[in-house]
Each structure stands twice: as structure tokens, then as C-alpha cells.
Structure 1
Amino acid sequence: MHWRDALNKRALSLLSWKKHRRHVHLATTCAAIVQDITRSDVDAILVSGDLTNFGTPDEFALAADWLKQLPVTAMVIPGNHDCMIRQPAEKGLLQWKTWSATSYPYARIHDGVAVVGVNSGVPTPPFMAYGRVGRRQLARLEALLKQLGDAGLCRVVMIHHPPRRGLVTWRKALHDYRAFARVLKRTGAEIVLHGHSHDATLTHIPGTDIPLLGVASASLMDKREHRQACWNHLSIHAQDDGWAIQMSRHRPDGRITEKASWVRPRNSRA
């Protein structure tokens, strides 16, 4: 990164990286995750943000190269690191349009499953990493979820910031999580995936029975098991009256540390 690129909030992130994060976020750990995913014979990979550290154009390009090398189709949303500062879209998010979108939310349909990508990443002041979906995106999300539900598709919603209070500190929280939850309560969804917290968690969207599944960073080495690098394997199958969803949580060495399953009614309203 050129010194001119760090004359903003990136300077604080760079200090954090040099002092701490570079010692615990390891490329070898992420590579082991990808190898385990490859062995598991999945047909799509969902990436819930933070493919970059500082959101520089060069990092976006490197991340695009990484996405090209994944064993199957990937679908991506940005995280707070990817949206650290304002910059022309062609230098940032548009480099990922093959795996993401030019606007949000987006929907990609695969074998009866609709992956809905929401962008909660916004530039924030120093020492802050909060997110926001915003009214316009929430309105589009509501219309999109209704349309997909009426079409009988399984709706897997992906957002970076956890849309629930208490999973991250206030300075990292999703500011409009209540509005997001209200949209899902009206429209329904089968499951919601998030990143950001670096914790492997399983909760619910507030006021609903919609599962909310968090994942640890794919590159993080930590003594605490719930923060150790992992990936979530979702298996979704259509039933006469809905969707059977199974989840297993995998570590880089192939160990499965948690399992869960749900039967979600077709086009359910939470």
C-alpha cells in the first residue's frame, strides 16, 4: 500500500495489522479452509465480506484473483474493511461484479435456492466499524424477498454485520438492525448468514424464528474455539411443504464441531 493511500482511516487499520492482526490472520489457514471446502464437494461458496484489509484497489484486484481460483462458483458481499473509505466503484466493489453485483440487494438463483446479498458496509469514523443497510436498500430487499417467496424459492440472505443486538459491540453494530428484522418478519426468509463478529454463533432474527448463522474468520487462529477459523456447510433440499436445511461447522483440519437442522415452510412469514 502506498503511503498516500494511508492518509485516512486506513492508517489506524494498518497499525492494527502490523501490531496484532498479521500474526493471527494467516493465509495458510485460509488456504486450509479452501482445501477442506474442495474435499466436501460443495456447489457454491458464499463469502460474507472482508476480503480486504484496507479496501485498496490493489487488494480488490488480488481478492478477484483469489475468487477466480475457488473450486466452484462464489457469491460475495462487501464487509466493513472493503468499504473503509469512499472511492470510485470501479476501483473497489465493481472489481467483484462477477461474484457480486453492481447494486444491492442482489439475488442469484441456484437449483431452487435464491442467495440474496445485502450490503451493510459503509465508511465510518476512526475507531468505528458499524454498518447500515439504509432505507432504499431495505425497500428493495422487501420487494425482492416477497417476489422470491411467491416464486417458491428458498431464500438465503447474506449480510456482513449481524442483524441482532449483542453479537458485537456497539461500535461495530448494524445501526438499522431493527428495521432489517421488521422487513424479514413481514416477508419471511429461510435462513440469514452473517460475518463481521469473527464468532461462530447460531441465533435468530429478533422477533422471528428465522435462523441467524454466524461464522468465524476463515483466516483467524485463536485459542477460543468459537473464534477459530471455520466454514459452515449448508445442505438445502426441497420437501413437499418446504425446505430441509442442514448445517455442519467445519474446521480447517476437517473436524466437524457443530451440527443443526431446520425444516422451513415454503414462503414462510416469520
Structure 2
Amino acid sequence: MPHDLPAETSSQRETCAVVLAHLSDPHLPPPPVRWWEALNKRALSLISWKKHRRHVHLAAICMEIVQDIARANVDAILVSGDLTNFGTPAEFTLAAEWLEKLPAQTLVIPGNHDCMIRQSPEKGILQWEKWSGATYPYARIHNGVAIIGVNSGIPTPPFMAYGRVGHKQLARLEALLTQLGDAELCRVVMIHHPPRKGLVPWRKSLLDHPAVAKLLQRTGAEIVLHGHSHDATLTHIAGTEIPLLGVASASLTDKRAHRQACWNHLTIRPRKSGWTIDLARHRPDGSITEQASWFRPQGTQA
């Protein structure tokens, strides 16, 4: 029930910090794809996987990321999409088994690979309903922190990987962010495609990113998390001071530092007039490559 708020308000918040782990794009090793499942866009993705991507997206690296998260004793793990490679029903099932074994309460949203072709929700994203919701956007609340999951994944033509939030989700998102803001909760928005121009090529972009940015300018949010780019980035939502935090793929090996596998360790502490949010970006071995900190005043929109 993504729009239902529990009785908890800021006056009832616990004073302890909420610690979140953000990872994305693990591209878990796929089971065999049956021939009739590849009579569509999946055929191109399958060729890419066999020729290149399976050599750089390594299960061992992703396992090290999960082990490091386990040592950090986080309150929740946020996975911002692309658990699968081809979005087959069998991949969704294996991904659900992976989610079940993660070392903390987990929330997930789908990415473009998870939504590669049209199929019934029962074969796809509803297999992850336990860690998300039956509808998007959804919200889950823990000690004064609200995690809002948005689905930007849509089926696209060959060689395209763009996304869209769409009018229905935008309307629900605006109502939800307003409601959560009025309840004085720290709002953490999670979306797969970055809602900002220039972080990915057009063919991979969020088509309605201007509408998402304008919505966030109106309603506010304390931080926005995304995946998809496979880049560890730190920017802002256009026209606001809202931090926009990207993360490299959780399974990727790459010579470029900003594309090497990592996860974002976020610590959110309530203050009298807002929240402090501390970031430490972790490599699989636990080393920290980047740190940042923000104070997000309560009641501000942008």
C-alpha cells in the first residue's frame, strides 16, 4: 500500500541513525535462455552478453560487495535495478532468490534490462513484490526515513535503453512526496534512469527527466539515488540542491576508477530542523573511495 502512512511522525522518530546500502546493476549470471525467449530484442542482448558483458560482469565481485555490506550492519539495502540481463521469468526467479539471501531488509526497483520486452507482471516484476510493491511508486518507512521506489523501466526498440516514468506515476509520485513531506519524513527517492541530462547518452536517457525535475522542484526530496549509468557520480537535480547519487555496477570490473564496482554507504541522522546525510563510497574490499556530507533542512522543497 504505497500511499498509506503509518502512525509514525517526526515527533515519534527514534534518534538513532538509519544506515542504508545502495547498490545497482548487479547483472546476475543468467540461466540458459530458451530459443523462443530470444525471438525478440533479447537476441541482441544475448550476443552482447556472450561476446563481452559476461567477461566484465563478474559474480565474484558482486559477492564481495554483498559481503562488505554484511560487515557494515546496515538497516536496509536498496537495489536500483538491472538485476537481470534479459528479463526472462527464470532470471526474475533467480534474482528473487538472491534478494532473499541479502544480509538486511531489501527494497528493489526494476531497470531497463528487467523490462526489456513486454510480458505479464506475474512472469516479471511481480516476482519481486515482496521487496517492492504491486504498484509504483511505492514507499517504505523506517525510523523517519521514507524510501520511495519509482519504475522507469519500459520496453524499448533494439539498441535503445531509455526509460520513462509516465503521467500516472508522476501524479502518484507528486502526491506521495507531498504527503511524506507533510509528515516530516526524510524522503529518499530511488529510480533506475538518472533524472538529469548528460549523465548517459540520449538512447539511454530518462525521456521525461524535465518533468521529474520540475516535480522534485515543487515537492522536494532529501536525496535521489539512481543506477543505469554504471558510473559513480554525484550531481544534483536540475534547479535544486537535491543530491543526485549514482553508483557503478555492483559486478563490473573496469580500469576506469569511476566505473569500478562499488556501493554507497549512507547514514541519515535526524536533527532538530532536518537531517544530515553522510556518504561513504565503498569498493568490494571495504576501502572508501569518496566521502560527502549534506544537511537537508526539513520543510524545504528544492
Picking from 75, 79, 87, the partner of 2:111 is 79
Q: Secondary structure at the match of 2:241?
A: coil
* Aligned partners of 1:190 and 1:268 also within 8 Å: no
1:159 aligns with 2:167: no
Moved over 3 A (4+): none
After superposition, what is the alpha-carbon deviation per residue over 1:38-70, rounded to whole angstroms, capped at 9, x for unaligned? 011111000000000000000000000000000
Quote the sequence identity (%). Answer: 75
What SS class does the counterpart of residue 46 from structure 1 fall into? Answer: strand
Shift of 1:266: 1.0
1:65 paired to 2:97: yes
Find the aligned partners of 1:115 and 1:267 in 2 and give their Cα distance: 17
**Which whole-Å deviations, capped at 9, do the CAs of 1:162-193 have from their partners, x for residues lacking one?**
00011000100000000000000000000000
Please point out which of 249, 274, 286 is paired with 1:242.
274
**Matched residue, 2:78:** 46
* Matched position secondary structure for 2:130: coil
| Structure-2 residue corresponding to 1:31 | 63
1:205 aligns with 2:199: no
> What is the one-letter code of the residue matched to 1:179?
A
Distance of 2:174 and 2:297 partners within structure 1: 18
* SS of residue in 2 equivalent to 1:141: helix
Q: Deviations over 1:208-243 (max 9, x none)?
A: 010000000000000000000000000001000000
Q: Distance in 1 between matches of 2:179 and 2:200?
A: 31
1:114 has 2:154 as partner: no
SS of 1:247's partner is: strand
Q: Structure 2 residue aligned with 1:172, among 204, 227, 241? A: 204
Q: Who is 1:228 aligned against?
A: 260
Whichever residue aligns with residue 85 of structure 2, its letter is N
1:189–1:267 CA contact under 8 A, matched in 2: no
Secondary structure at the aligned position of 1:97 is classed as helix
The residue number in structure 2 matching 1:217 is 249
Whole-Å separation in 2 of the counterparts to 1:30 and 1:238: 31
In the alignment, the residues of structure 2 paired with residue 160 and residue 240 of structure 1 have an alpha-carbon distance, to the nearest angstrom, of 32
* Counterpart-to-counterpart distance in 2, 1:197 and 1:268: 29
Residue 111 of structure 1: CA displacement? 1.0
2:287 is matched with which residue?
255
> What whole-Å deviation, never above 9, does each CA across 1:90-140 have from its counterpart, x for those lacking one?
000000000011110000001110000000000000000000000110011
In structure 2, what is the Cα distance between the partners aligned to 1:147 and 1:128?
35
What CA deviation, in whole Å up to 9, does each residue of 1:185-206 have, x standing for no partner? 0000000000000000000000
5 Å-filtered alignment, 1:133-144, equals: 133-144=165-176
Equivalent position of 2:87 in the other structure: 55
TM-score normalised by length of structure 1:
1.00
Match of 2:42?
10
Q: Which runs of 5+ in 1 are unaligned?
A: none
RMSD, aligned α-carbons: 0.4
Please report the TM-score for the alignment, with normalisation by the length of structure 2.
0.89
| Structure possessing the higher relative contact order (Cα contacts under 8 Å, 6 or more residues apart) | 2
- Give, in angstroms, the shift of residue 267 of structure 1: 2.7
Distance 1:182 1:75 in 2: 26
The alignment covers a number of residue pairs equal to 270
SS at match of 1:116: strand
Aligned to 2:161: 129
- What is the deviation of 1:268? 1.6
Letter in 2 for 1:105: P
* Separation of aligned partners in 1, 2:143 and 2:41: 42
Q: Secondary structure at the match of 1:91?
A: coil
